[in-house]
Structure 1
């Protein structure tokens, strides 16, 4: 998987940043501080899009630091 590829279930941090209109560093901080759900694939940290979409579909509107700190 190249740095900017994604699948329906996961998304690289740079791809997620691009979708959100923020820089990579901001999206990386969201992952580090648990603002968005993430997982590790090998040595690569990726955004857990399944969980992110489920949260949005359930009505979640605000994502705060620490929401996913135990992931």
Structure 2
């Protein structure tokens, strides 16, 4: 059995670990705002919300929630 803690990090994982997450938004805050954010993005693809954009670019769990919600509302 291979020890998963002894595996090298992928370049993608290294980028995510080093990503600047300022301004900070917690996952709870992101989840509270995600419906409105996705509705705005679907209505206007150029819509930007810096807090949400930064958080979603660095948090795979919240990004997956955003993708799922986008698919449901599209």
Q: Which has the larger radius of gyration?
A: 2
Is the shorter-chain TM-score for this pair beyond 0.5, marking a shared fold? no
Q: Decide which structure has greater helix share.
A: 2
Q: Decide which structure has greater strand share.
A: 1
TM-score (norm 1): 0.29
TM-score (norm 2): 0.28
